[in-house]
Chain A
Amino acid sequence: MSYQPGSVAVVGASESTKIGAVPGMSQIMLHADAALNAMAECGLKPSDIDGVACVGPMMPQQIAHYLGITPSWVDGTGVGGCSFMLHVRHAAAAIMAGYAKTILITHGESGKSRINGTPRPAEPESLNGQFEIPYGPFGPPTLFPIPVLRYMKETGTTHEHLAMVSVVTREWAGKNPRAMFRDPLTVDDVLGSRMIAYPFRILQCCLVTDGGGAIILTSAERAKDFPTKPVYVLGSGESVETNMVSQMKDFTSSSAFRVAGPTAMKMAGISHADVDHLMIYDAFAHLPLYGLEDLGFCKRGEAKDFIWEGHTRPGGKLPLNTNGGGLSYTHTGMYGMFALQESIRQMRGTAPAQVPGAKVSVAHGVGGMFSASGTIVFSNEQP
């Protein structure tokens, strides 16, 4: 049995009531706040939920118990910030298999305020602890951009091209009242901002915020009985490569992207021309370039020109990261949930920077630097 596009739908989707700086909520409450919002909008109570997914070991039981849910299916897949794309994919399969009828996926992270935040140690015996950490990487800003200079050399991408990614993303953020940073930027602003880890400056690195999000899925058949407009899951994909960025096979392309993206689009039965709206997890400014190329929206080395020429801007032919992205909207540490939320808003027609008439949205996530990927294809029309 293979997944039939549109068999499962999102009936509830919400972010936490506040995002950005939320010093009044611990991490677990950010999960719960978003979950309560999502349940409220589609008229569900915790007792109506029979499946729970959230990121990481021992987490599904924490969230289920906190919310008062007795699940018959759980998923604690934790592969970094794209884990939620994998949760949606796994949930769709579980619903088709009859393991659960109504699945809740939650995220909460006190990334900025660090109230009950997630510790991220690298054990000195782990492969990262032996073969990367001794050379001084300190978190994603030092690890994620390691392949960038190689990508620039191989594709002729310049510092100005990479700066333009931040400029265009900020243009979208300017349309979104919930975005943390909304003032317009220029290429010179970006290239004049504080150096973090050459070649990247502060305006090419994502935000660090607090926030949460929740998504509720059920079968397309049951979705018709909910008060919300169903957003159908047409296709999904996932893969992993290596959690050591130094061991990526090709520094100019992600193997995980090249599996997850095409798998999702093939399952959905869509071509690139069918995509009206695109989210590519932008933890750093190079990711939209890798995503556009590895998912086949651009040929190798052409993403820089595609963005420079304005095709991903407001009014362009492929609106990209329309909430303002991880670069300007919000980034708790695991942004994939927020990319999904924006795709769902676009399909519901409720996004602050709504793409007129959009029918198909692709949300593409990355996790643990380039170590993992998940892609979801949504539509507001059932095929």
Chain B
Amino acid sequence: MALAPGRPKPKPTPETKQFWDGCKDGKLLLQRCVETGKAYFPPRPFSPYTGSRNVETFEASGRATLHSYVIHHRPVPGFEPPYAIAVVELEEGPRMMTNIVDCPQTPEALVLDMPMVVAFTPLDDDITLPLFTPATKG
């Protein structure tokens, strides 16, 4: 799926580069706190649970559920309304904002808690976005 031109492009920082590199390689990389075993997001080189710098990176399953969303009906550069701005809950616990692809952008098609799977979608040569699609599909 090609994305419409004009979408705002994220700019990785030293703390997040690994995540964005992972997306480009088709891997959803999360971090976890070694002491508590709990995963977290967005990326940072320390645990938000304990403050410990003892953290590790791992590849998430890419499976998630649809936690909540809005369907925006007004024009925004890089987007064709109506489009859903969604939050998915990853199998490992953390949530992230995303868009839902290959699915009608309607309340009937977008049912809370439906299973989702990551669909890596290139924005350009540098950045690939972790979008999601319904898991029941295809």
With beta carbons under 8 angstroms apart, the residue of B42, B83, B95 that contacts A130 is B42
Asked if B104 is an interface residue, CB under 8 A from chain A, the answer is: no
Q: Name the B residues within 8 Å of A149 (CB-CB).
A: 68-70, 112
- Complex: how many Å from CA A225 to CA B81? 59
Give min CB distance, B124 to chain A, whole Å. 11
Whether A136 contacts B72 by the Cβ 8 Å rule is yes
Is A129 touching B68 in the complex (CB atoms < 8 A)? Answer: no
Report the separation of the CA atoms of residues A22 and B67 in the bound assembly, to the nearest whole angstrom.
41
Asked if A135 meets B99 with Cβ closer than 8 Å, knowing A130-B10, A130-B16, the reply is yes
Does A40 belong to the interface (CB within 8 Å)? no
Spot the interface stretch: A137-145, A163-171, A229-237: A137-145
Bound complex: CA A132 to CA B41 (Å) = 12
In the bound complex, residues from chain B placing their C-beta under 8 Å from that of A147 are: 68
A153 within 8 A of B: yes
Segment 272-311 of A: residues with Cβ below 8 Å from B: none
Residues of A near B42 (CB, < 8 A) are: 127, 130-131, 244, 247
Cβ–Cβ contact B87 & A136, under 8 A: no
Chain A contacts for B11, CB-based, 8 A: 123-125, 129-130
Q: Mark B56-89, 1 if CB is under 8 A from A, else 0.
A: 0000000000011111111010110011011100
Contact-residue bracket for chain A:
20 to 34
Q: Which of B11, B16, B74, B85 has the most CB of A within 10 A?
A: B85
A134 and B68 form a contact (CB under 8 A): no
Query: How many B residues face the partner with a CB closer than 8 A?
Result: 37
Bound: A148/B71 CA distance, A: 12
Known interface pairs A133-B8, A246-B96, A247-B95; A197-B70 also in contact (CB < 8 Å)? yes
CA–CA, A306 and B67, complex, Å: 26
Q: Which residue of B lies closest to A149 (CB)?
A: B68
Cα A145 to Cα B74 in complex, Å, equals 15
A136–B73 contact, CB under 8 A? no
Distance in angstroms between the alpha carbons of A123 and B20 in the assembled complex: 17
Within the assembled complex, what's the spacing in Å between the Cα atoms of A197 and B73? 6
Assess whether B123 is interfacial by the CB under 8 Å rule. yes
Q: Is the CB of B10 within 8 A of A124?
A: yes
Question: Chain B contacts of A150 at CB under 8 A?
Answer: 67-68, 112
Q: Are B9 and A124 in contact (CB under 8 A)?
A: yes
Q: Is A200 an interface residue when CB atoms closer than 8 A count as contact?
A: yes
Other-chain residue from B9, B68, B82, B96 in contact with A131 (beta carbon distance below 8 A): B96
Contact present for A135 and B71 (CB under 8 Å): no
Inter-subunit contact B70/A129 (CB<8 Å): no
Which residue of A is nearest B88, CB measured?
A246
On whether the beta carbons of A198 and B82 are closer than 8 Å, the reply is: yes
Task: Give Cα distance in the complex from A298 to B10, angstroms.
Answer: 41
With a CB–CB cut-off of 8 A, which chain A residues contact B123?
Answer: 134
Check A142/B70 contact, CB under 8 A, given A129-B8, A131-B96, A134-B123.
Answer: yes
Q: With both chains docked as a complex, state the minimum distance between the C-beta of A276 and any C-beta of chain B, in angstroms.
A: 35
Residues on B with C-beta less than 8 A from A246 are 87, 95-97
The CA-CA distance from A86 to B87 in the complex, in Å, is 30
Which residues does chain B contribute within 8 Å of A200, judged by CB atoms? 70
* A residues near B67, Cβ cutoff 8 Å: 150, 251
Binding site for A on B (CB under 8 A): 7-13, 16, 20, 41-42, 67-74, 76, 78-79, 82-83, 85-87, 95-99, 107, 112-113, 123, 129
**15 further A-B pairs in the complex, CB-CB below 8 A; given A130-B10, A130-B11, A195-B73:** A130-B42, A131-B10, A136-B79, A137-B85, A148-B70, A150-B68, A153-B113, A195-B82, A196-B74, A198-B70, A244-B42, A246-B87, A246-B95, A251-B67, A251-B68
Q: Which 6 A-B pairs have CB atoms at the shortest separation, nearest pair first?
A: A130-B10, A198-B71, A150-B68, A246-B97, A124-B11, A197-B70
